[in-house]
């Protein structure tokens, strides 16, 4: 085959397979002879969702592949940030599409809803793929009618999801990447020790400020000291590796102690050039969690608007189930929790010059 044949011209219609796409809307209401105008909107909106899910999963697979390497190329971390940003923009569209769906009234939906049984959004294989790839494993899910979430799929798709669960999710791979972070101990500098000293100093300053002020009443001072004590207890618990591991065992935390400390270091020293991209990566994961939660919540509210307390077409509790997933299915909540551990820049332990140079913070590092 010569190059001229290989790169022959192609038409817009055939390249995008427009005829195949635009002929894929078969209205059930027409099949039974009771045309429902809004069924076309319902079908197209969900088809568009599936196309966007396909693109999201395409991006996630590439990131998972890059982070599966024992040593993650720094260039690939930047690429991951860019691809996660793309996923975030797509997720914004997914939320906006709900507004398009809501141009259909509850009565419009009832014109064809009875023809949909037992089809349901629970049967979206690509959405479940996305959840599992990100890190939502079965033991962290709200059950579907007290059954495994994959029970609604044929055996081949069920097997595919189970195989995906056995592998490393993006959460697992980022956790492993964080655990390999070399920043926490370097020579005489011990980040955990220095951070704990800084927290203690900060809390002592706040205690002194509370006791010395003339603005607060004795009662208010006592209340603030109690609150400060609670803060101190939180810092102490979260910085205790045994306590942290106990919280993981209880299912209250999921990110390992070492990875949590690394994420904390990255967040605290984000202004250092070498940590800028790692900080963006963690921020994008948090954003993805936020947008998925927003989508779940908006979806639940739309279902409430359309169906009230009716049971879903797939047999679920409808709005109640969807609302519970919005509240509980947070994948990267541990990265949100890191914000609780942040302290002001003015209180940060100063990084030794040798520490900075060896981590390549200075362009002059090779010349010193």
Please report the pLDDT score of residue 157 as a whole number: 93
- The reported pTM is 0.87
Give pLDDT < 50 ranges for the chain. Answer: 314-315, 361-368
Q: State how far the Cα of 111 lies from the Cα of 107, in Å rounded to an integer.
A: 7
Please report the pLDDT score of residue 312 as a whole number: 53
Q: Are 76 and 177 in contact (CB under 8 A)?
A: no
Please report the pLDDT score of residue 362 as a whole number: 47
Q: Which long-range contacts (CB under 8 A, 24 or more apart) does 340-346 make?
A: 340/234, 340/238, 341/235, 341/238, 341/264, 342/264, 342/267, 342/268, 343/198, 343/199, 343/202, 343/268, 344/202, 345/271
Token pair for 327:
């509240």
Token pair for 106:
């509850």
Q: State how far the Cα of 88 lies from the Cα of 285, in Å rounded to an integer.
A: 9
Q: Are 27 and 39 in contact (CB under 8 A)?
A: yes
Q: Are 130 and 57 in contact (CB under 8 A)?
A: yes
Where along the chain do its domains lie? 18-182+269-331, 184-255+333-368
Give the ranges where the chain is alpha helix by DSSP (H). 3-6, 12-16, 18-22, 28-31, 39-67, 74-101, 106-110, 125-134, 155-166, 170-179, 191-212, 218-238, 241-249, 257-268, 273-307, 319-328, 333-337, 353-358
**Architecture of the domain spanning 18-182+269-331:** Up-down Bundle (1.20)
Please report the pLDDT score of residue 311 as a whole number: 59
Q: State how far the Cα of 39 lies from the Cα of 110, in Å rounded to an integer.
A: 10
């Amino acid at each position: 085959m010569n190059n001229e044949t290989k790169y022959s011209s192609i038409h817009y219609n055939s390249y995008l397979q427009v005829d195949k796409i635009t002929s894929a809307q078969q209205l059930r209401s027409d099949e039974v002879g009771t045309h429902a105008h809004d069924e076309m909107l319902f079908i197209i909106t969900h088809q568009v969702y599936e196309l966007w899910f396909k693109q999201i999963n395409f991006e996630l697979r590439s990131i998972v592949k890059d982070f599966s390497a024992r040593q993650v190329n720094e260039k690939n971390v930047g690429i991951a940030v860019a691809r996660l940003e793309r996923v975030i923009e797509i997720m914004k569209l997914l939320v906006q599409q709900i507004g398009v769906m809501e141009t259909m009234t509850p009565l419009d939906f009832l014109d064809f809803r009875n023809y949909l049984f037992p089809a349901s959004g629970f049967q979206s294989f690509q959405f479940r793929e996305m959840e599992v790839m990100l890190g939502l494993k079965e033991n962290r899910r709200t059950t579907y009618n007290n059954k495994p979430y994959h029970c609604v799929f044929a055996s081949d798709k069920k097997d595919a999801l189970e195989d995906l669960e056995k592998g490393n999710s993006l959460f697992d791979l980022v956790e492993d990447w964080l655990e390999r972070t070399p920043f926490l101990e370097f020579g005489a500098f011990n980040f955990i020790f220095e951070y704990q000293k800084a927290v203690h100093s900060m809390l002592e300053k706040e205690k002194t400020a509370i006791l010395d002020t003339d603005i607060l009443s004795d009662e208010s001072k006592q209340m603030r000291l109690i609150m400060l004590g609670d803060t101190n207890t939180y810092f102490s618990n979260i910085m205790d590796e045994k306590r942290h591991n106990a919280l993981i065992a209880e299912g209250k935390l999921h990110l390992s102690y070492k990875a949590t400390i690394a994420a904390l270091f990255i967040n605290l020293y984000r202004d250092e050039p070498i940590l800028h991209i790692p900080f963006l990566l963690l921020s994008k994961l948090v954003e993805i969690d936020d947008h998925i939660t927003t989508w779940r919540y908006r979806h639940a509210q739309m279902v409430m608007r359309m169906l009230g307390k009716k049971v879903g077409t797939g047999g679920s509790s409808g709005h109640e189930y969807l609302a519970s997933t919005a509240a509980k299915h947070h994948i990267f909540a541990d990265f949100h929790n890191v914000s609780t551990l942040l302290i002001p820049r003015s209180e940060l332990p100063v990084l030794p010059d040798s520490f900075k140079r060896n981590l390549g913070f200075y362009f002059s590092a090779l010349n010193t």
